[in-house]
Amino acid sequence: MSATTTDIEQAGVVSDQEAVSKVGHAQVADEEFLFEELPDAPPKQGLRFSMVGKIAIAIVTFWVVLAFVGPSIAPYDQAFFIEDDLQGNIIDDPGFMFPNAQAYMGTDYIGRDIMSRIIYGARTTIGIAFAATMLAYFVGITLGIAAAVAGGWTDTVISRIVDAILSFPNIMLGLIIIAAFESSIPLLIGLAGFVYAASVYRIARALGQDIMVQDFVEAARARGEGLWYIIRREILPNAVMPLATDFGLRFVFVILFISSLSFLGLGVQPPVADWGSMVRENLQGLSNGFGFITTADFGFNWATLVEWTTWKTSSNGGAFAVLAPAFAIASLTIAINLIVDDISAHAGGSLAKKMV
């Protein structure tokens, strides 16, 4: 800092006042980047995303924002049945309506607005999956690092328990636990957190063991640092980056796991909107197709197309009710995967390899 001030003063000596202020500004602006400008500084390691990666980030941001503000911008409540049309007349059959001026994405099998349920569902689906992933990470990392640091029988006992959990297919463990306890949102979070904590544990333990034998840990030990200091200052900072990328993938697995359970009718229970259960509820509507594409040769049924474009209500839009939530899940999980892919490609592809 003092060196910089001297530079400015020297500059002031050789040139006029204006130049001084210019140089001064430049110095202030550059101050925080001073390290990068040293001739032997390592090249800057910023995260740069490809076009696909940027689109993926936009999609994920969209859903996350929707999860936060959703219920306040949704046109209807998630459990609201549309019974009257805009003129106030009673609708004969409000189930599986085509997208229309009243319900922009149509209605589900008992006449609830799909768009509102997708918006509410964003909060349920993302919220549960996020809470479960956080739980899995908290438990997995704590136990994994503990096993790596403690070694010995602590390591053996925890590792054997984890092996036992991993010898179940995830969905089976889910089915057995739900059969015993009946499904509820806290149970789903606990269940997914518990199931995926096992795989997080494996990664955290492996990372911890890798780091434990590094020279800098040896050095910390030699200078008499305590165990807590080594965990906090040596192990965790070095494990954060690989774990952060893994978090994205784990989050995707949890979303797929929970929506599969919901799809089986064993996850989030009605009337709460959740993307997986929405697909299940409306499955019967799939055979309607889109109404206007019905015949074997993709021939158009003009009458229904005209009805659709003029936003008249019509009761054969069943495919929308199934596809909308299915595409919501797919867009979110594919986007997260693409982001992780982009980051790991940037990091030399080592994570991309681990993934397969």
Partner 1 sequence: MGAMVLRRIGIGLVLIWVVSVLIFAITQILPGDAAQIRLGQQSTPESLAALRKELGLDKPMLFQYTSWVGRLMTGDLGISTAGGATIGSLIDGRIWNTLFMTGIVALISVPLSVFLGLLAAMLPGSRLDRAVTSTTLGLIAVPDFFIAILLILFLGVWLRWVPAVSYLSGTEDFWNKMRVLTLPIVTLVVVVSAQMVRMTRAGVLNVMGSPYIEMAILKGVPRKRIILRHALLNAIGPVVNVIALNLAYLVSGVVVVETIFSYPGLAKLMVDGVQTRDIPLVQACAMIFCSTYVVLILIADIASIVSNPRLRNPK
Residues forming contacts to partner 1 in the complex (CB under 8 A) are: 163-164, 167-172, 175-182, 252, 256, 259-260, 263-266, 276, 279, 283, 286-289, 293-294, 296, 298, 319, 322-323, 326-327, 329-330, 333-334, 336-337, 341, 353, 356
Query: Which CB, 140 or 276, lies closer to partner 1?
Result: 276
Q: Count the neighbouring beta carbons within 10 Å of the beta carbon of residue 60.
A: 19
Query: Which CB, 100 or 277, lies closer to partner 1?
Result: 277
Query: Which CB, 74 or 319, lies closer to partner 1?
Result: 319
Query: Which CB, 239 or 278, lies closer to partner 1?
Result: 278
CA 159/CA 144 separation, integer angstroms: 9
Quote the least distance from Cβ 333 to partner 1, whole Å: 5
Quote the least distance from Cβ 176 to partner 1, whole Å: 5
Query: Which CB, 78 or 288, lies closer to partner 1?
Result: 288
H-run or E-run covering 334 = helix 318-346
Output the six-digit token pair for 146. Answer: 């503990």
Quote the least distance from Cβ 42 to partner 1, whole Å: 27
H-run or E-run covering 105 = none
Quote the least distance from Cβ 202 to partner 1, whole Å: 15
- The end-to-end CA distance of the chain, in Å, is 49
Query: Which CB, 14 or 180, lies closer to partner 1?
Result: 180
Concatenated DSSP letters of 212-223:
HTSHHHHHHHHT
Output the six-digit token pair for 258. Answer: 């929970």
CA 231/CA 139 separation, integer angstroms: 16
SS3 content of the chain, % helix, strand, coil (to 5): 70, 0, 30
Query: Which CB, 180 or 213, lies closer to partner 1?
Result: 180
- Interior/surface letters 164-181, b for 16+ CB within 10 angstroms, e for the rest: ebeeeebeebbeebbeee
DSSP 230: I
Residue 334, CA distances (Å) to 5, 141, 248, 356 in order:
52, 26, 11, 15
Q: Which residues pair with 84 in a beta bridge?
A: 90
Quote the least distance from Cβ 172 to partner 1, whole Å: 5
Quote the least distance from Cβ 260 to partner 1, whole Å: 6
Q: Is 273 exposed, middle or buried (0-12, 13-18, 19+ CB in 10 A)?
A: buried
Residue 169, CA distances (Å) to 28, 220, 335, 354 in order:
58, 41, 26, 20
CB 262 within 8 A of CB 274: yes
Query: Which CB, 208 or 325, lies closer to partner 1?
Result: 325
Q: Which residue has the tokens 């636990």?
A: 177
Cβ-proximal residues to 187 (8 Å cutoff; 6+ apart), any chain: 177, 178, 181
Query: Which CB, 187 or 236, lies closer to partner 1?
Result: 187
DSSP 7: H
Quote the least distance from Cβ 70 to partner 1, whole Å: 21
Quote the least distance from Cβ 322 to partner 1, whole Å: 6
Quote the least distance from Cβ 119 to partner 1, whole Å: 20
Query: Which CB, 188 or 230, lies closer to partner 1?
Result: 188
Quote the least distance from Cβ 245 to partner 1, whole Å: 15
